[in-house]
Every structure is written in structure tokens, then in C-alpha cells.
Structure 1
């Protein structure tokens, strides 16, 4: 009878808890990624929105930085919109913010994904045991987006370490000649790098193919992600001067095969041909 009771506890109490916390367990990241972050105060991490893997990889980076620098101030920046008078400090404030932020109720461009919500959950949870951790929401939905987002980050910088997760265009340190961005304005990273050139670096997250939840034109849903030709899965490398000139990035990190992360809050607007009936 005692063995049966212990089996019940393991199956219905302990295992579910382990499953919740293993989703974003603190795992190792490539040493070059850690070296890059430790060498500078401000690191911009450029992603494709709407994957399961990016928030996981970014959390691993945050987690390892906190473990290695326990007494250091750390600001984690996310390309999400702030809500007046709500600071993300715990689960209650996260739920209050989520209910007030219209970005989470469609149309979804990948930033309001299930994986991003899980990242936020882990960050507010970690804040309970890491009082030196702060969360900065810097998105600007309209207007001169790039300089305004940069201004929010610059205004929040007081010499502490900052890890900033944002779209792969925003994280570029300079304007480039890439055809996809030929007519684009100077990216957010350009303004930050111009202000703090010796303290700022960036990392370009790439993938080994598969899918993401994204926006293409006026269509939102699941789209293919190409395979990176720049580095092998789960590896990182420094880019050459010529590659940096072309891409606006200094380091590249392939986090492996990507899988689309669906919106945290599903609405009818999400039902379209680009949303197969799949789950994360």
C-alpha cells in the first residue's frame, strides 16, 4: 500500500511539477556565446519571432549569466509593449499586464507566443530569488520605431549588464546593403551602438530549418524557416569583418531546428490556411 501511495505522489504530484520546470530548464549554451556576453555590457540578440527554440535559448543565456554573476545587476529587455503602472515583478503582475496588453489578442506576429509567455513566467519566477534582475519592455508599436525603441533601452542603461531579445532587423548594429533591407531605416541597434560602441555587441540567432509563427505581409500563421548555411546546429562563431559589414552582426548562433510557437491567446483571426491544426 505504501509503494502504491508513493507511486501516486510521483505520478500525479512530482512529475507534473518537473515537467513544468523542465520546459525552461537552465541548460548550457555555446562557450562563445557566453564569452561574447561577458565581454560587453549590452548584448542585442536578434531572432525570428514565433519559435519554440528562441525563447528557450535566450532563457538559457539569461540563466547562465545569472548563475555566473549572482551579485550583478541584470536587465532583460523584450520587444513587448509596456503598460502604464504595471511592472513585471511576479506572476500576479504578469497576468495583470497580459490582460491589459492588446498585442496578445491578435493579430499575432510571433512575439505573443506560448513560448514567449513561458519565458516571461520563468523571468518573473527567477526575479523572486534574483532581486538584481529587472525586466524591460521596450516595444514601440507606431511612429519612428527604431530610434524610439533604442531610446527606451539607452534610458534604462546605467552601466548594468543588459540582454535584449528583439527581431533580427532591430538588433543589427548598422545599416547594411542586404537586399531585404535596402530601403529600411537605420535599425535600433545602430542607435545603441553609436551611443555605446565599446559596451555593445550582438548575436544573430539562426536555425536548422523547419517552422515559425510569423507575419508575412497581411498574413499571419505558420511559415517555413530556412536552414542556416553559416554555422552548424547548436554551434556559434564570430563573423568575419566582411560578414559583419554585410549583415550588421558580430556573432552567429544556430539554435537547431525551429518549431512554430502558437499564440498564447488564440482568437478566430488566427484561423487561416497558414495555421495547421498542430500543437507545440
Structure 2
């Protein structure tokens, strides 16, 4: 009996305690029964956006199950499964590091320290018994010569739909680049209809990260910290549900001036 209790204690100690969740002002407006999908369009490479997204997932879990869809290639799904199932955070990091491709090798903002922290928090939530799953949402969709619509955008929406059908009681929450989270047609753009625009609009809420200044780590002419324009009200904080950018988004996620999060290798 003592040996069994000791084994259980050692097993529990192998998992880090999930980080404390912080309330995001205005988040309660997102959890409507008619909303199946919550999209957060970010600028990759900030510290604040992944952290706030994990806090939103934490709040959503109080309402019911959550499927978290991240902007990683679908080929990475077995790696994400191994990451979530690993016996310790050390083993989970090793599973990510063993993947030969993807954001933690060919770096962009999706392979940042903040994104790794987000994944570790999601893992901690799952290990603590929360009903949360982690799935990849970037399809392997080549651009087809002669087609004006980007079928990769349509295929993203198909993946989200399949993820929703796989867990019909779960809310699907997606963190991605803001362009894919737009809900109206991009006139004159090869993107055509962004991914979020392929889902019934009444079933979705799409937020854009407010531009309130600061920096993000990104690759432009060179890779490194780059300034973020301050084009939104700098005093707003939290979630403001009001149409943005001529209907492209349903609201703002305002976190104040952001700081850059550099790439890491797990």
C-alpha cells in the first residue's frame, strides 16, 4: 500500500503544476452557446498574445471542453500528441526538439519562447484533468496554378470543422496569424476568402490583437525585434466586442504595448 502511494506521488511529481490563470477583462462575452469557434488573430513573435490566449483557454474550460488549434503543420500532429502525453515537461520538450521541421527549427514567431510556454501550459491543464486537446491546423495544400482562390484557406476551415465534429461538445479555439482570422473577402488578393470566412459567421467570434505599440520578433529584411504600430486606442485593455476593420473582425484583444519573444529550441 505504501509502495503504491509512493509510486502515485512520484508520478504526480513528474508533471509541473499548471501556471495560474489570469482573467482577461471582457472574456465572458465570448462564451455564448451559439459560438462554436473563437479565433484569435495575432502578430507572431510577441510575449503577450500566447499568454493571453492560454488565459482565454483557461476561462473557456470553465464552460466546457476545449479543442485548441494552433498554426502548426498537420504533419506535426504526432509530435504534439507525444508532447501532451509525455511523462514530464523535460520529455515533452524533447519530443518537440526531435521534430526535424516546423516552427521550432525553421524559426518564425510560432517557435517563440512564448509559444513554448503556451504549449506547456496547455499540457499542464490536460495533466491536471482539464478536458483540453491540442491539434495542428495548417494543411499541406499547394497553391494551384490558374486558381485565384487560395485553397489552403478553405482547407484550414475544413480542418477546423473536422476538429469540431470530432469533439462536438467542445469549443474550438484557434490562435493564428491575423490574416487567416479575417471574416470578409480580400478583394484583389490571392488569398481570396480567408480561412475564418469559410465558417458560418454566426458560429464564430474573431478577435484581432490590437496594435498598441511595442515590438514583435519577426523576419522582414532581417530577423529580430521589429516595431508594432500604435494605431489602436492605447488605453483599452481586454476584449472589446465591436466590429473592427470594416467587419474583418468581431472585436479586439487589447493587451497594451507588446514585447518581443525570440525563438527557442525546446
Structure 1 contact 41–162 (Cα < 8 Å) conserved: yes
Q: 1:185 to 1:221 in 2, by over 3 A?
A: farther
Residue 183 to residue 109, structure 1, CA distance change in 2 (3 Å): same
**Residue 237 of structure 1 is aligned with which of 237, 240, 265?**
240
TM-score, length-scaled by structure 1: 0.74
How far apart, CA to CA, are the structure 1 residues paired with 2:131 and 2:238? Answer: 30
2:213 to 190, 209, 221: 209
SS of equivalent to 2:218: strand
Pair 1:99 & 2:94 matched: no
Q: CA deviation at 1:164?
A: 0.7
For the 8 Å contact 1:203–1:253, the answer to whether it is kept is: yes
* 1:176-195 aligned within 5 A: 176=186, 182-191=189-198, 193=199
Q: Which moved more, 1:40-49 or 1:152-161?
A: 152-161
Greater shift in the superposed pair: 254-263 or 156-165: 156-165
1:198 to 188, 196, 202: 202
Aligned to 1:41: 36
Distance (whole Å) between structure 2 residues aligned to residue 146 and residue 89 of structure 1: 27
Instruction: Give 1:101 shift.
Output: 4.5
1:133-212 map, 5 Å? 133-140=132-139, 143=142, 144-158=151-165, 159=168, 160-176=170-186, 182-191=189-198, 193=199, 196-212=200-216
Partner secondary structure for residue 239 of structure 1: strand
- TM-score, normalised to structure 2, is 0.77
**What is the aligned length?**
232
Secondary structure of the structure 2 residue equivalent to 1:229: coil
Unmatched tracts of structure 1, length 5 or more: 1-19, 267-280
Task: Tell me, in whole angstroms, the C-alpha distance in 1 between the residues paired with 2:73 and 2:228.
Answer: 26
- Paired with 1:62 and 1:204, the residues of 2 have a C-alpha distance of 16
**2:117 alignment partner in structure 1:** 118
For residues 184 and 230 of structure 2, the distance between their equivalents in structure 1, rounded to whole angstroms, comes to: 24
Task: Kindly report the root-mean-square deviation, in angstroms, between the aligned alpha carbons of the 2 structures.
Answer: 2.6
SS at match of 1:121: helix
Please tell me whether the aligned partners of residues 231 and 252 of structure 1 are also in contact (alpha carbons under 8 angstroms). no
Provide the residue aligned with 1:271 in structure 2. none
Shift >4 Å, 4+ stretches: none
